[in-house]
Amino acid sequence: MIPMEHYLIVSTLMFFIGIYGFITRKNMIAMLISLELVINAVDINFIVFNRYLFPGQLEGMFFTLFSIAITAAETTVALAIIINVYRKIGNVNVGNINKMKN
């Protein structure tokens, strides 16, 4: 049996790699990809806590299931907004988004 901490170390590292990408990227799609990494790390945490600490229950699994579905919905709307931004201002860098308010 693999120690629980090993999974948690992997998910923590993945989480903060995602945070790093979210801070340093300029392209909005690349930022969204970093956000996926963060959400994925949290999903791993839910599953690991469910399996190791409460193996008789299903809460962590259903949280992850709903989290995956909500992430898919969120990504759809975010990409629709990004495509719309591209039509309006011609690129997808976050620095140019303040032009949207005019």
Partner 1 sequence: MDATINLIIFYALAVVVLSMSVLAVTTKKILRAATYLLFVLIGTAGFYLMLNYHFLAAVQITVYAGGVVVLFIFAIFLVSSKGEVIEPHAKRKVVLGLLASVAGAAVVFFALFKHQFVIDSANTTMIGDQEMNMKVIGQALIGTGKYQYLLPFEILSVLLLACIIGGILIARKR
Query: Which residue ranges make up the site for partner 1 (CB under 8 A)?
Result: 1-2, 4-10, 12-21, 23-27, 29-30, 32-34, 36-37, 40, 43-44, 47-48, 51-53, 55-59, 61-62, 64-66, 68-77, 79-84, 86-87, 92-93
Shortest distance, position 72 Cβ to partner 1, whole Å: 5
Of 72 and 98, CB closest to partner 1: 72
Q: With 0-12 CB in 10 A as exposed, 13-18 as middle and 19+ as buried, what is 41?
A: buried
Nearest Cα residue to 39 out of 71, 80, 77:
71
Q: How far is the CA of 95 from the CAs of 21, 29, 69, in angstroms?
A: 16, 13, 30
Shortest distance, position 45 Cβ to partner 1, whole Å: 10
